[in-house]
Structure 1
């Protein structure tokens, strides 16, 4: 997923919560190093893991997000290795004992074919004893009373940043949610505006297990957020996989 300009700034300022680094640190410590965070964005939780001394690299599809991450790392006096690549086109020299996505970034892949390509790329970047951690989400429709309602924040330079979900199509057949969003950056001199579509694609636990089989990955765990086996009605679940 590409981010540019005011979309990056608005995302960084308006995201509702930061990821707790503890579960990802524990995963890397247990599965082993080196680690790779896919979809590292501007460095959350990657930089927290680096501060703990963990050998973890990051990859993201957005050059602008990676530049923000480098700036944050420099501010914290941290060394960090970052890669610019699409998840499904990952081709790095190093192999990793632990690969993880922080949050349901995998849901940003638009269709099953792209998802299987990404799973195959993850497999190719695991060591023989490596493990990958993939959080997933089955999103419901955005509540109607939230469409057309703006959220605002102040940018680093004092500009007003505004995010508005304009409209949405929630398609249970294709298992996609497409939200048209408008980003604005407002200063006394000008108003910049970008409108784009966010596509989320979801899978049932059984569907995802089949895709892992197709990518030659063995599912070692598939659990909900209370560590219980995920069922057909589970909306938040985490999958761990290893090479077959």
Structure 2
């Protein structure tokens, strides 16, 4: 069995803030309606909230770096009779056939980019695919260290075929200067006498507001607002916030 089949299915048990199984579509539907279409969801995964936005008649494309997740998305779209356009690309290397008035991430998956150089490349790619009157929405968060009593703690869930899926944080390294936190996650799949085990590093890279603003400016973007996930102005000490970006030439 491909380890990705259960790796992708239970990663949100540990890092739910990145992208939950049932992403609320309302904030993203509101964003797309207010800023215009066509729209692009970066890191669209297996289709939440992209499929719901398509169901509402919004012109939204998707892009993701995981072929497994895109296969799930296409299967779900076929089951629901929804036409979708999605691309298998990394967000730091976008080369898409059109530009967009709205570009967004549904959850702070931007923190999965490993360093500032990759983040800058992604922001430049966003700028290249924005129309001159376009807006981008980038959710960010600062992870908390995993509590010591949670290291080694096993969480379980059940797959549709009845297999028991287990995930645990085996170890964790945090580098405040590099702004990275790397957890070694152990995934196990137990089905009758069969057991599969995979250990994978899970790196998060976070951004102080000033640092992210500098990267955005270097990429030709301007920060126009920093809000809470509910759309209110974010306090300076917020650890979860949404950054709104527009082409610098419009500011």
Instruction: Give TM class, smaller chain.
Output: over 0.9
Pairwise mapping of residues 8-87 of structure 1 onto structure 2 (< 5 A)?
8-11=8-11, 16=16, 17=20, 18-87=22-91
CA RMSD between the two structures: 1.7
Cα-to-partner distance string for 1:152-202 (whole Å, 9 max, x where unaligned): 111121111111111111211111010000111111131111100000000
- Take 1:100 and 1:68, find their aligned partners in 2: how far apart are those partners? 20
List runs of 5+ in structure 2 lacking aligned partners: none
Cα distance in structure 2, aligned partners of 1:59 and 1:91: 10
For residue 195 of structure 2, the aligned residue among 191, 194, 200 is: 191
Superposed displacement of residue 140, structure 1 = 1.3
How far residue 11 of structure 1 moved from its aligned partner, in angstroms, is 3.6
Instruction: Note if 1:112 corresponds to 2:116.
Output: yes
Q: 59-68 or 71-80, which moves further after superposition? A: 71-80
TM-score with structure 1 setting the length: 0.94
- Normalising to structure 2: TM-score of the pair? 0.91
Whole-Å separation in 1 of the counterparts to 2:229 and 2:27: 12
Q: Which residue of 2 aligns with 1:204?
A: 208
Secondary structure of residue in 2 paired with 1:164: strand
3-state SS in 2 of match to 1:131:
strand
The alpha-carbon deviation at position 214 of structure 1 amounts to 0.6
- Name which of 228, 231, 239 aligns with 2:233: 228
- Alignment partner of 1:5 is 2:9: no
Does residue 240 of structure 1 match 2:244? yes
State the SS of the aligned residue for 1:184.
Answer: strand
Cα offsets for 1:3-57 (capped at 9, x unmatched): 9333123347887542210000000001001111000111111111111111111
What is the Cα deviation at residue 242 of structure 1? 1.0
Q: Given that residues 4 and 62 in structure 1 are in contact (C-alpha distance below 8 angstroms), is that contact kept between their aligned partners in structure 2? A: no
Query: In 2, distance between residues paired with 1:66 and 1:14?
Result: 22
Separation (CA, whole Å) in 1 of partners of 2:72 and 2:150: 29
How far apart in 1 are the matches of 2:50 and 2:208?
28
2-structure distance, mates of 1:183, 1:189: 17
The answer to which of 12-21 and 160-169 deviates more is 12-21
